[in-house]
Amino acid sequence: MVTTVSLKDALLGGAQEVFETMVFMALEEVDVAEECSEDVSLLGSITFTGNIEGCLSIRCGLQCARTIAANMLGTDPCGDLAECDINDAIGEVANMVMGAIKSRVQHEIGTMEVSIPSVVQGREMKHGLGDQANEIVVNVSIEEQYRATFSLLFRESELA
């Protein structure tokens, strides 16, 4: 069975791989969560089922999300990016990181079915999965300028 340590390694390694190859930004883990100075954040999430079930999310400020979208689209972050483009980029980051995690741990846990990503905007957003859920949180610095949080909530499936 997959361990919390191996899931954390898969989460951080997958996020770094996606940011390096698809977002063209350096991502490093930081020990302490620094609160985003922006009032509104975006939360991109994607759920999964199988022998373990849960949800992966990325939460970042709007300016960070704008820069991520601009890098993915090859445009200027100060340029005219539509809200739907920014949301699509954050959803796609969640999707790609989940794919990277899946490829790293699927041989240990078996089948994983993944949903389509969703993105919401708001303040103090959190996910919940019930009392028996485990949570792995990885706080990151992106290009030493932005802060984001990756969260992996999971539990063993009742069907497993």
Q: Where are the domains of the chain?
A: 4-62+91-156
Q: Mean pLDDT per segment of 10 residues, for the chain of length 160 residues?
A: 80 97 96 64 94 93 95 89 95 97 90 93 70 88 93 78
DSSP state of 19: I
Q: Count CB atoms within 10 A of the CB of residue 78.
A: 9
In angstroms, the CA 140 to CA 13 distance is: 12
**What pLDDT was estimated at residue 127?**
65
Res 80: pLDDT: 86
Determine the pLDDT at residue 129: 62
Q: The dihedral of CA 19, 21, 24, 25: what is its sign?
A: positive
The reported pLDDT for the residue numbered 123 is 76
Predicted local distance difference test score (pLDDT) of residue 110: 85
User: Phi first, then psi: what are they for 52, rounded to 5°?
Assistant: -120, 150
Considering the four listed CATH numbers 3.90.1170.50, 3.40.1550.10, 3.30.70.20, 3.20.20.140, the one that applies to the domain covering 4-62+91-156 is 3.40.1550.10
- Please tell me the predicted confidence (pLDDT) of residue 36: 54
